[in-house]
Amino acid sequence: MSASFSNQITAVAYCRTPYKQKFGIPRQPGLVDVHGYVELTGPFNDPDSVRGLEQYSHLWLLFCFHENLAQGWKTTVRPPRLGGNEKLGVFATRSTFRPNGIGQSVVKLHGIVRRGGKICLEISGMDLLDGTPIIDIKPYIPFSDAIPDAIGGMAQEAPVQYPVHFCSEAEAQVAKYGARPQSPNLRALIEGVLAQDPRPAYKKAKDDAKLYQVALYDLDIFWQIGPKGIEVLELRPGMLESGT
């Protein structure tokens, strides 16, 4: 017998991050030290709803994979960790294509602030698209949530990091755009994102001369695989800045 629930799930907040498209978002939380905000909304935008939260260093965010819901789900998926060739059951992976489209991430809490009249949690280490609906926020409890001898299956070890190089033109552009308040720590963000090699798994097993683009803040970052690793070629103002 299947269970049904009558209570409607609503967003309690929305995440504000530099990640403007799904491509390039770290595949797990904590891999890139980038800051963002959880912006409380509606009746939850009340100081009382986060009273006492500042005593915790980390939070669990439960969220909705809102851009994937229309594509549905399958019983098996091809995890990037396995090169996109081997299938595993959806419940044996952290695939974004899930029966109920719900994800969870651990993030670091830096403080509780007001931005534009809203209560916001300043966080870092998130792996969430800008505008992601947050459906619940819970404190991370070290003695129960951290299990030192846990077995991580195919993901026991952290992913390999690739060297990231900037050509001279990109170096100048990083200095220019990174000096703006709307794109803090730009170089570190680009390095952190690209070091994960966000290409599809099937692309990594062969020569790849394709030019790739990742949207961070209001910029398009163009890069490709070179003989020494990942090479950043150019930064251009994206849709948000150019208005196109």
Q: Considering the chain, what is the average pLDDT of its residues?
A: 89
Q: Which pLDDT tens digit goes with each residue over 147-201?
A: 899 898 877 777 788 899 999 999 999 999 999 999 999 999 999 999 989 888 7
- Assign residue 184 the CATH number of its domain: 3.30.2310.20
Query: Is residue 1's pLDDT more than 70?
Result: no
pTM of the model: 0.86
Please indicate, yes or no, if residue 67 is contained in any of the structural domains.
Answer: yes
Query: Residues 21, 142: one domain?
Result: yes
Q: Which pLDDT tens digit goes with each residue over 101-155?
A: 999 999 999 999 999 999 999 999 999 999 999 999 999 999 999 989 989 887 7
Domain boundary among 153, 174, 200: 153
Query: Residues 171, 226: one domain?
Result: yes
Please indicate, yes or no, if residue 116 is contained in any of the structural domains.
Answer: yes
Domain boundary among 86, 118, 153: 153
Q: Are 64 and 132 contacting, i.e. CB atoms less than 8 angstroms apart?
A: yes
Cross-strand partners of 115: 118
Phi, psi of 61 (to 5 degrees): -110, 125
Tell me the pairing of strands 58-64 and 102-115. antiparallel
